C-alpha cells in the first residue's frame, strides 16, 4: 500500500464504501463524529407517583469496536506476495489507527498455507499491545508453497477459535483473514459447519478480504454472515491494508441498555430492548421512566449501563427522579379565633404543577357545632410552594375541654403526600379551673392567729392583721406582735377573661417580732416573712401554671446567741427538738412556704405560713 495524500485517501474511502455497499455493507460517513458515549449521560426528571416520562437517548458507538483483540491471518502461499507486501508495509498505519480509537487494543499474527506444506498453520505472534512485536510477526510472512487451488483456510480459523490465540475475556474478538483461494472442506478434519460453530462459540467476528477467489464457493459469505462479520470482495493486492481497516470499521455492534440499579417504585425500560449498528454509528433508544403510585417523595437515582456486545464499556447514564412532597401543618386556634388556617406546603422541585384534594373530618370537635366542614382541591402552579386551607371555627358559651378535628389530603397529582393529616385544636375560652390560697401568721396546738382566706378554695382577696398575741401550749409560750396575713387573686373574677400570663393566686404572712419560751430555751426572731403563689406563665404551645415559695428571717437569737439565717433553708437541732427555717414544700399542685417551724415532743409551732395551689387547670381553657 502506498503512502497516500488526503485526496487519495478520500478516493479510497469512496471506493471501499462502494465495495461494501455491493456486499450489503456501508462505511460510517466521514465527518466529525461525537465522542463515544451515551447522550445525555445525566438525566433529571420531576414526576409524581403514577406518572411517567420518555427520554430520547443516543449512544455514540466508537468507530472501532471497544477493547478489540485483532488477529491478522494471512494466506502466505506463493500467489500472495503482493498482498503480503502491502499489509507488511502499512501495518503500522493500521495498528496506529486502531489504537488511536481504542488504546486498549491488542493484536496477534498468524498465517496458513496448505497441507502439502510443512506448516499449514502457524501463530507468528500471540496477543500483545506492543506494535513492534506485531510488526515483527507480520514480517515473518513469506509467500511460498501451496499445492493446489484450495488451501487450509478453515483449519486456520478453527485453530484460532479453539485456543491457538488466548483472547482476553472482555474483548471484542475480530479475526481478519485475507487470501485468494477457498478452503478445502473439510480442512484438517474441520468442516465449514464445524468452523462456523467454533467461531460463534468463541465470539469471534470474521472480516474476510477476498483478494481473488477466497469466497469462490461461498464459504466466507456463510462465515461472515454467521459471525456478524464483513466480507470485502474483489480487493486488489495493493489495497488489502485499506480493505482490512475498512472491514474492521464496518463491524456491527449491539447496544443493550441494562438497568444496573433502581429503587423500588421506579421502573426504567427501553424501546427497542437493544439495537445493532455499524460501529461508529449512533444507536437511538426511547427510555421509558414510570413511577408506581406508592413511590415516596424524595430523590430516587437509577444507573443504566449501555453495554456494547454484552460488555460494560463505561457508557453509563445516571437518572435522577425528583418526587415533590406535600405536607399539611397542625393548627391551634382559640374558640374565639374565627378560623383555623392550615398551610399545605410543597417540598422538593417546584417546576411542575401539582394538585391535591383536601377535606375536614370530625374528631372530638364536630361540624357544624364546633367548626364548619370544608373540602376542595388545591392547585400549585410552577414556583408556588404553599397554599392555605381556612376552616371557620364556631364560638360557644359551654365550658369544655379542648377539642380536635383534622384536615386530610388525598388524591395528589404530581407529588407524593409526606404528611397528609393536619390536626386542628380548638382552645376552649372557658377557664378549666381555679386557684386556691391561704396565709396564716401563727399556728400552735390547733390555735391560729391572723389567717387570711380560711376557706382556702377558691382563692380570694383577704387580709387579717393582729397587733399582738400570746399563746401557750403546755410549757411553750409564743409571744408575737404586728401580725398580718394576706391573700390575693388576679384577676379578681376568673370568669371575666380567658387565661393570660400573670393570672395568679397568692398568699403572704408577716410577723414583726416573735419570742418563743420553753424550758431551758428562748428563741427571739426579728421580722419573719413568707409568700407562696400559683401563676400562669407562657410555655411552648400556650400557658402553664408555675408554683413558687419564698421566706426570710431578719434576725435570730437562741438563748441570747445570734444566728445568721437570711432566706436559705436551715435546720437547727435543739434539746427539745429541731428548728426548721425557710422550708418549701411542693406536693402535686400545691406549694406551702413556712418561715419557721419548731418541731418538739410537746407541740409544733409554725410562724408565717403561706400556701397556694391550683384546682383543675386555671391557666387553660
Chain segment 457-487, per-residue pLDDT in tens: 999 999 999 999 999 988 899 999 999 999 9
pLDDT value for 4: 34
As a whole number of angstroms, the distance between CA 371 and CA 404 comes to 10
Q: What is the mean pLDDT of the chain?
A: 91
pLDDT tens-digit profile of 388-443? Answer: 999 999 986 555 577 999 999 999 999 999 999 999 999 876 677 899 999 999 99
As a whole number of angstroms, the distance between CA 62 and CA 78 comes to 37
pLDDT band at 147 (very low <50, low <70, confident <90, very high): confident
pLDDT for 359 beyond 60 = yes
pLDDT tens-digit profile of 154-202? Answer: 999 999 999 999 999 999 999 999 999 999 999 999 999 999 999 999 9
pLDDT for 8 beyond 60 = no
| Eight-class DSSP state of 566 | B
Q: What is the mean pLDDT of residues 546-562?
A: 96
Query: In the structure grid, which three cell numbers stand for residue 556, read together?
Result: 435570730
pLDDT value for 146: 81
Question: Dmax over Cα atoms in the chain, in whole Å?
Answer: 150
In which order are the strands placed within the sheet that holds 282-291? 37-39, 52-60, 282-291, 266-271
pLDDT value for 335: 80
pLDDT for 317 beyond 60 = yes
In which order are the strands placed within the sheet that holds 375-380? 331-334, 421-427, 403-413, 354-362, 375-380
Q: What is the mean pLDDT of residues 360-384?
A: 96
Residue at grid coordinates 426570710: 552
CB 106 within 8 A of CB 69: yes
Close Cβ partners of 389 (under 8 Å, ≥ 6 residues apart): 328, 341, 342, 343, 344, 358, 374, 378, 407, 422
Closest CA to 252 of 3, 105, 61: 61
What does residue 220 show for φ and ψ, rounded to 5 degrees? -85, -20
The residue with greater pLDDT, 592 or 20, is 592
pTM above 0.85, yes or no: no
What does residue 405 show for φ and ψ, rounded to 5 degrees? -145, 175
Three-state SS string over 114-145 comes to CCCCCCCEEEEEEEECCHHHHHHHHHCCCCCC
| Eight-class DSSP state of 238 | G
As a whole number of angstroms, the distance between CA 512 and CA 495 comes to 37
pLDDT tens-digit profile of 246-287? Answer: 999 999 999 999 999 999 999 999 999 999 999 999 999 999
Q: Bridge partners of 318?
A: 42, 303
Query: In the structure grid, which three cell numbers stand for residue 217, read together?
Result: 464457493
pLDDT tens-digit profile of 58-72? Answer: 999 999 999 999 999
CB 354 within 8 A of CB 333: no
User: How many angstroms separate the Cα of 305 from the Cα of each of 262, 308, 310, 320?
Assistant: 12, 9, 10, 15
- What's the CA angle centered on 277, arms 271 and 280, to 5 degrees? 120
Amino acid at each position: 500500500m502506498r503512502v497516500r495524500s488526503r485526496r487519495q485517501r478520500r478516493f479510497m474511502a469512496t471506493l471501499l464504501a462502494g465495495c461494501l455497499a455491493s456486499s450489503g455493507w456501508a462505511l460510517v460517513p466521514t465527518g466529525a463524529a461525537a465522542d463515544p458515549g451515551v447522550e445525555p449521560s445525566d438525566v433529571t426528571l420531576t414526576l409524581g407517583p403514577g406518572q411517567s416520562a420518555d427520554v430520547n437517548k443516543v449512544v455514540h458507538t466508537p468507530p472501532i469496536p471497544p477493547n478489540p483483540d485483532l488477529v491478522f491471518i494471512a494466506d502466505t502461499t506463493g500467489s500472495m506476495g503482493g498482498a503480503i507486501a502491502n499489509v507488511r508495509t502499512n501495518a503500522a498505519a493500521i495498528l496506529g489507527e486502531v489504537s488511536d480509537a481504542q488504546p486498549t487494543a491488542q493484536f496477534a499474527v498468524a498465517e496458513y498455507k496448505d497441507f502439502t506444506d510443512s506448516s499449514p498453520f502457524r501463530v507468528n505472534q500471540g496477543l500483545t499491545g506492543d506494535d513492534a512485536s506485531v510488526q515483527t510477526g507480520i514480517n515473518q510472512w513469506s509467500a511460498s508453497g501451496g499445492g493446489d487451488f484450495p488451501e487450509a483456510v478453515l483449519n486456520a480459523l478453527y485453530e484460532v477459535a479453539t485456543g491457538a490465540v488466548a483472547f482476553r475475556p472482555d474483548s471484542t474478538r475480530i479475526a481478519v483473514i485475507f487470501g485468494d483461494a477457498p478452503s478445502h472442506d473439510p480442512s484438517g478434519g474441520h468442516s465449514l459447519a464445524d468452523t462456523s460453530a467454533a467461531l460463534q462459540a468463541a465470539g469471534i467476528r470474521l472480516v474476510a478480504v477476498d483478494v481473488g477467489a477466497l469466497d469462490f464457493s461461498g464459504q466466507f459469505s456463510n462465515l461472515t454472515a454467521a459471525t456478524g462479520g464483513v466480507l470485502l470482495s474483489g480487493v486488489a493486492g495493493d489495497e488489502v491494508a485499506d480493505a482490512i481497516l475498512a472491514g474492521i470499521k464496518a463491524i456491527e455492534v449491539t447496544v443493550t441498555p441494562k438497568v444496573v440499579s433502581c429503587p423500588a417504585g421506579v421502573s426504567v425500560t427501553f424501546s427497542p430492548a437493544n439495537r445493532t449498528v455499524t460501529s461508529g454509528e449512533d444507536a437511538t433508544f426511547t427510555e421509558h421512566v414510570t413511577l408506581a403510585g406508592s413511590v415516596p417523595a424524595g430523590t430516587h437515582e437509577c444507573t443504566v449501563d449501555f453495554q456494547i456486545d454484552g460488555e460494560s464499556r463505561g457508557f453509563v447514564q445516571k437518572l435522577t427522579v425528583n418526587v415533590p412532597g406535600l405536607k399539611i401543618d397542625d393548627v391551634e386556634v382559640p374558640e374565639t379565633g374565627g378560623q383555623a388556617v392550615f398551610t399545605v406546603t410543597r417540598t422538593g422541585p417546584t417546576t411542575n404543577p401539582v394538585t391535591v384534594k383536601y377535606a375536614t373530618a370530625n374528631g372530638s370537635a364536630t361540624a357544624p357545632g364546633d367548626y364548619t366542614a370544608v373540602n376542595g382541591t388545591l392547585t400549585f402552579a410552577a414556583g408556588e410552594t404553599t397554599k392555605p386551607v381556612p376552616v371557620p371555627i364556631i364560638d360557644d358559651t359551654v365550658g369544655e375541654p379542648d377539642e380536635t378535628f383534622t384536615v386530610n389530603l388525598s388524591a395528589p397529582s404530581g407529588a407524593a403526600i409526606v404528611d397528609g393529616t393536619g390536626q386542628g385544636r380548638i382552645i376552649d375560652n372557658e377557664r378549666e379551673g381555679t386557684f386556691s390560697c391561704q396565709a396564716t401568721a401563727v399556728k400552735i396546738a390547733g390555735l391560729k392567729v391572723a389567717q387570711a382566706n380560711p376557706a382556702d378554695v377558691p382563692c380570694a382577696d383577704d387580709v387579717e392583721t393582729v397587733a399582738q398575741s400570746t399563746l401557750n401550749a403546755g410549757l411553750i409560750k409564743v409571744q408575737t406582735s404586728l401580725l398580718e396575713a394576706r391573700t390575693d387573686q388576679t384577676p379578681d373574677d376568673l370568669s371575666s377573661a380567658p387565661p393570660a400570663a400573670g393570672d395568679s393566686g397568692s398568699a403572704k404572712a408577716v410577723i414583726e417580732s416573735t419570742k418563743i419560751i420553753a424550758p431551758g430555751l428562748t428563741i427571739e426572731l426579728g421580722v419573719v416573712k413568707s409568700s407562696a403563689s400559683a401563676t400562669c406563665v407562657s410555655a411552648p404551645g400556650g400557658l402553664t401554671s408555675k408554683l413558687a415559695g419564698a421566706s426570710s428571717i431578719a434576725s435570730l437569737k437562741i438563748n441570747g446567741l445570734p444566728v445568721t439565717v437570711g432566706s436559705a433553708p436551715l435546720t437547727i437541732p435543739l434539746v427539745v427538738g429541731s428548728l426548721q427555717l425557710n422550708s418549701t414544700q411542693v406536693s402535686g399542685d400545691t406549694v406551702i412556704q413556712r418561715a419557721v417551724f419548731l418541731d418538739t415532743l410537746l407541740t409544733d409551732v409554725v410562724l408565717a405560713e403561706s400556701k397556694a395551689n391550683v384546682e383543675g387547670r386555671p391557666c387553660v381553657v
